[in-house]
Amino acid sequence: MLRNLWRTTSGLVGIVAVAFALATLAIGLAAYEVTHEALEQQLDHRIATETAGLLAEAHSSGLPALAAAIGRREAARSTSSLEYLLVDEAGERLAGSLDAPVPGKQGFEEFLHYRRQGQGYLSEDAIAQALTTAVPGGTLVIAADRSDLDEIDRTLAALFVSSLAAMLILGLAAAVLIGWITRRRLSRIDATAQAIIGGDLARRIPRDNSGSEFDRLAGTLNRMLDRIESLMENLRQVSSDVAHDLRTPLTRLCNKLDEAAREPEARTRADILDTARAQAGELLELFSALLRLAEIEGLSDRLPHRRVDMSALLDQMAESYRPDIEDSGRTLQVDFPAGLEIEGDRRLVSQAIANLLDNALRHTPGGTAICMTASSGDEGVSVEVADNGPGVDEVEGQRLFERFARSEQARSSPGHGLGLSIVRAIAQAHGGRAELRNGAPGLAVILHFPPI
């Protein structure tokens, strides 16, 4: 369990809180040590300064003058005054009220035990910091009580301990709170995922529009779910369309094969097999078109971002199709400025325009005028392929971009009803759209590409 603690949000926040607490402890110990040493040095300096002052005052007068100076200081003492002790060489007290044994060595004594007057005029044990100095004929001891220093040490220790405890408590509380909030928000994502697993593809993760990480993640996942739902809908539509639209050609193919199997004459059987082979080729073309359509629909996130000179592309397409259009008794008019550019795949864009020109060439009568125009604006580049042929009725026009959808006039001509579906898929893969405008008469398909 401890090994996986850092894998959870609560555990990770808890680890960070403990790390901060340990850092606070280390800083507290360092601050305590520095503060303690500074107070120690200040106390030592005070004692040393007082010792130097007394020795300077009684420098030439000997022990009596030193004893008199100590007496004056003790007469004027306050609660923060120093303690003094002056003894001769025999250890007899000459001055001072410090109730402590004379240290056996000269210099500073950090912990000198002595008796001091407490509350109610009762003496009590205490600890002082002292400096022992040899003077001519005796020894001088000056001590400072350590109770204030010890009190500061206890205050600092209590402060650091309480800060450490507060940080640990707040850190653990933050870990619990953040863990609860995280689990609560993730539970929404989990509930949505469980609903989608159960078949509710329309379910989406609720958002609070706060712009937080969870809100942005919810938006990204919702867009992903929208994309999945769209693909699933396309898959269902493709499955339904394939099952519906391939039944007839497959039935014809099977009938031809059965007829060939029953035909005794070799030449007639060969003719029937040639017809069946042609029908099988049409089926292969249909499946190739379906695979191409599925490939294009999955390119929206992987489309190469290259600049395409639309003016040059349209001019090239016009030159390629003009001979066939004019030989069929139709006319081709073009109108677009130079310098039109989009961003995307030149091969796919040329395929979309080729499909539109093929439709106009295949499904309009002789004498039809075909017009290919393009323009640019704030919304990007628009390319239109229009004709003045018979057009389609409004109901048919609304479904021509669907797979296998064909107008009544087009049913007598070759094709599978996938051309406009591919055109729309290419436009959408580029971040644009395709729309159909039914004229009176005539038909126009417009491709909109977003600005660069």
Strand partners, 141: 85, 132
User: Residue ranges of the alpha helices (H) in 205-309?
Assistant: 213-245, 247-262, 266-297
DSSP code of 329? T
Question: In whole angstroms, what is the distance from residue 163 CA to residue 150 CA?
Answer: 20
The pLDDT score that the predictor gives to residue 411 is 47
Compute φ and ψ for 416, nearest 5 degrees: -120, 0
Distance CA 161, CA 166 (A): 8
**Can you tell me the distance from the alpha carbon of 242 to that of 244, in angstroms, rounded to the nearest whole number?**
5
For 306-449, CATH number out of 3.30.1360.20, 3.30.930.10, 3.40.140.10, 3.30.565.10 equals: 3.30.565.10
Among 381, 378, 375, 363, CA closest to 442: 363
DSSP notation for 144-168: EE-HHHHHHHHHHHHHHHHHHHHHH
Length of the chain: 452
The Cα 8–Cα 286 span in angstroms is 52
Q: What fold does the segment set 11-151 form as a domain?
A: Beta-Lactamase (3.30.450)
pLDDT of residue 64: 86
Instruction: Kindly state the tokens that stand for 396.
Output: 């048919």
Q: Is-above-0.75 flag for pTM?
A: no
Give 134's strand partners. Answer: 139
pLDDT at res. 6: 58
pLDDT tens digit at each of 452 positions of the chain: 445 555 666 677 777 777 877 888 888 888 888 888 888 888 889 899 988 888 887 776 788 888 888 888 888 776 567 889 989 888 888 888 888 888 888 899 888 888 877 655 567 888 888 999 988 888 999 998 888 888 888 888 888 888 888 878 887 888 788 888 888 888 888 888 888 888 887 888 888 888 888 888 888 988 888 888 877 777 777 666 666 666 767 787 888 888 888 888 888 888 888 888 887 877 777 677 667 666 776 665 566 778 999 999 999 999 999 999 999 999 999 999 999 999 988 888 998 999 899 988 888 888 899 999 999 988 899 999 999 888 777 666 667 777 666 555 544 455 556 778 888 888 888 889 999 887 667 889 999 999 98
The sign of the torsion formed by the CA atoms of 171, 177, 179, 182 equals: negative
Q: d(Cα 360, Cα 410) in Å, to the nearest integer? A: 11
Cβ proximity of 419 and 402 under 8 Å: no
CA atoms within 13 Å, Cβ hemisphere of 276: 18
Place of tokens 């797979």: 403
Determine the pLDDT at residue 440: 61
| 160/27 Cα distance (integer angstroms) | 9
What are the strands, taking DSSP E only, across 181-335?
306-309, 331-335
Q: Is the peptide bond before 441 cis (omega within 30 degrees of 0)?
A: yes
- Contact at 8 Å (CB) between 267 and 305? no
Contacts of 318 (CB under 8 A, 6+ apart): 332, 334, 372
Angle at 222 between CA 220 and CA 228, to 5 degrees: 105
Which structure tokens are listed for 281? Answer: 């080729």
Instruction: Name the nearest CA neighbour of 234 among 20, 428, 22.
Output: 428
For residue 135, the SS3 value is strand
Radius of gyration of the chain (CA): 50
Element (H, E) at 112: strand 107-117
The span from the CA of 241 to the CA of 255, in Å, is: 22
Kind of pairing between the strands at 83-88 and 380-387: unpaired
If you ran DSSP here, which 8-state letter would residue 336 be given?
A: -
Contact yes or no for 112/103 (Cβ under 8 A): yes
331-335 and 369-377 strand pairing: parallel
Q: Write out the E strands in 272-360.
A: 306-309, 331-335, 341-344
